[in-house]
Amino acid sequence: MSLHNSEKEYRKLATEFFKGKITRRQFIEQSAGLGLSAALLGRILSNAYASADSLVDSSPLAANESPVTKERIEYLKSKPYKDVTINVMALRSAVGDCLEYHAPRWEEETGATVNVTKISIETLHQQIFADLSTGAGQYDAYQTAAWFYGDFFTPAEPYIVEITPFLQDPRYPYWDPAEFLPAMKRLYTWQGKLYGVLFDADAQILYYRKDVLQNTRYQEKFKSQLGYDLPNPPKNVKEMHDVAAFFTGWDWNGDGRDDWGISLHAKANEQGFFHFLTLAAPYVVSPANKHFYFNPDDMRPLINSEGHLRALEDYVKFLSNGPKEQINWTLPEGWAPFLAGHAVMEATWGDLPTLAQDRARSSVQGRVGATLIPGTTEAFNPISGQWEQYPLNVVGNTNGGTWHCVISRLSKKKEATFDFLAFMANRKNAFFNCTNGWTGVQPGMKYEYFPPIGTGSIVEWENQGWDKADATSFLDAYYQNLTLPEQEIYLRIPGAAEYWHELDLRVSSVLAGQTGAKAALDDLYQAWEQITERYGRENQKRLYAESFVG
pTM: 0.90
Interval 66-105: pLDDT, tens: 999 999 999 999 999 999 999 999 999 999 999 999 999 9
pLDDT of residue 44: 43
To the nearest 10 degrees (0 to 180), the angle between helices 537-546 and 517-535 is 100
DSSP state of 328: G
Q: Which pLDDT belongs to residue 78?
A: 96
The secondary structure of 400-416, three-state, reads CCCCEEEEECCCCCHHH
Helix (H, G, I), strand (E, B) or coil at 180: strand
419 φ/ψ angles, rounded to the nearest 5 degrees = -55, -45
Would you state the pLDDT for residue 266? 87
pLDDT the model gives residue 8: 53
- Rounded to an integer, what distance in angstroms lies between the CA atom of residue 428 and that of residue 436? 13
Residue 361's pLDDT is 94
pLDDT score of 270:
81
With beta carbons less than 8 A apart as the criterion, state whether 345 and 244 touch: yes
pLDDT at position 24, please? 55
Q: Is 227 exposed, middle or buried (0-12, 13-18, 19+ CB in 10 A)?
A: exposed
State residue 48's pLDDT score: 45
Sign of CA dihedral 103, 104, 109, 110: positive
Q: What is the pLDDT of residue 51?
A: 54
Which residue positions in the chain have pLDDT lower than 50?
A: 1-4, 7, 15, 18-21, 38-40, 42-48, 50
Reference 494, options 525, 523, 548, 537; nearest CA is 537
So what's the pLDDT on residue 442? 97
pLDDT digits (tens, 9 = 90+) for 163-173: 999 999 999 99
CB 93 within 8 A of CB 113: no
